Structures are given as structure tokens and as C-alpha cells.
């Protein structure tokens, strides 16, 4: 569905965070946000924006040894980074379905490594390096509130 996708140029880490903050205010409860893009593309930067809104948390780094970090009450946000787990079996052993089924928002870096486990109704974010910064594409798949496209284009 073309209407369901918005592509934006982000010329700074701050803009990427602001786009994320907008996604955070429109994402429906319990949804998964799948983040895809090369190293340094801005996935963790995006999660920092999510955490600011969803968990009032400013100190967000990629989970290195833990794979899964939790932020806020409940927790409100799970942050998963599958970078170090390219082995399909190791990823299966994480039982990510349990996290995906939780009432929290779940942000997943390198989501393609858990592709078959991702719920259908999720938010997909892709990041591409371009000369002026990053191209960020947001796809809602029904996991974002109505009006998010306009809000995201007018943000900032």
C-alpha cells in the first residue's frame, strides 16, 4: 500500500530523533517497530527518540551483551539489537515471540534477522545512507494511528 509509506530525508541525528518521537506518539500499544539499515545508518539514534517519548529515557545505547534492554515503567519499551546474532538458531533461542507479545513497544535493530518471527501488524523503518544524510522510510501496516503521515511530514 503506497499510502502507508512515507519517506523523509534526515540531515542530522536530531532530525532522526524527531522523526522517531513522532512515530512514538502515533504507534499503537504493544506494537513492534522493525529497524533495518547498515551499521551507522541511525537505528540506535532512532531508538533514542522512541525512548525519550515512551520512557522519558535519555541514556540509550545498543544492547551489547544483553541483546535486550528495557526502558521505562512496565517496561514501556524493549530495545533489541540482533547485530551480534547472525546465527538463526541463536535467534530462535531468544524466544522473541514472548517479547513481541508483550504490551510494551518493541524496537528491533537488524529486524531482518528475525523476519519470520515478526508480527505482520508492525511498523517498518528502513534507513539508507545518502549524501545529505539518511533517507528514512516509515511503513505503518496499521500499527500507527490515523494521521501519522501528515504529523510526520510536519514535525519539527
Ligand X SMILES: Nc1ncnc2c1ncn2[C@@H]1O[C@H](COP(=O)(O)OP(=O)(O)O)[C@@H](O)[C@H]1O
Residues that bind ligand X (CB under 6 A): 10-13, 15-16, 37, 39-45, 109, 133-134
CB of 41 to Mg ion, least distance (A): 8
CB of 107 to ligand X, least distance (A): 11
- Measured CA to CA, the distance from residue 54 to residue 36 in angstroms comes to 21
Q: Which of 5, 8, 18, 62 binds Mg ion (CB under 5 A)?
A: 62
Displacement of CA 57 from its chain's centroid (Å): 15
Q: How many residues form the binding site for Mg ion (CB under 5 A)? A: 4
Which grid coordinates belong to 95?
524466544
Dihedral sign (CA 4, 71, 47, 32): negative
Chain residue whose CB lies nearest ligand X:
42
Site of interaction with Mg ion (CB under 5 A): 43-44, 62, 109
Amino acid at each position: 500500500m503506497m499510502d502507508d509509506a512515507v519517506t523523509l530525508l534526515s540531515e542530522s541525528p536530531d532530525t532522526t530523533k524527531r522523526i522517531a518521537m513522532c512515530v512514538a506518539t502515533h504507534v499503537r500499544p504493544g506494537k513492534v517497530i522493525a529497524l533495518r539499515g547498515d551499521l551507522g545508518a541511525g537505528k540506535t539514534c532512532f531508538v533514542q527518540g522512541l525512548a525519550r517519548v515512551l520512557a522519558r529515557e535519555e541514556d540509550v545505547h545498543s544492547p551489547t551483551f544483553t541483546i535486550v534492554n528495557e526502558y521505562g515503567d512496565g517496561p514501556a519499551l524493549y530495545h533489541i539489537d540482533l547485530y551480534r546474532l547472525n546465527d538463526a538458531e541463536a535467534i530462535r533461542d531468544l524466544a522473541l515471540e514472548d517479547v513481541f507479545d508483550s504490551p510494551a513497544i518493541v524496537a528491533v535493530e537488524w529486524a531482518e534477522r528475525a523476519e519470520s518471527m515478526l508480527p505482520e501488524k508492525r511498523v517498518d523503518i528502513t534507513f539508507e545512507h545518502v549524501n545529505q544524510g539518511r533517507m528514512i522510510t516509515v511503513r505503518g501496516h496499521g500499527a500507527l494511528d490515523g494521521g501519522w503521515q501528515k504529523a510526520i511530514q510536519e514535525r519539527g
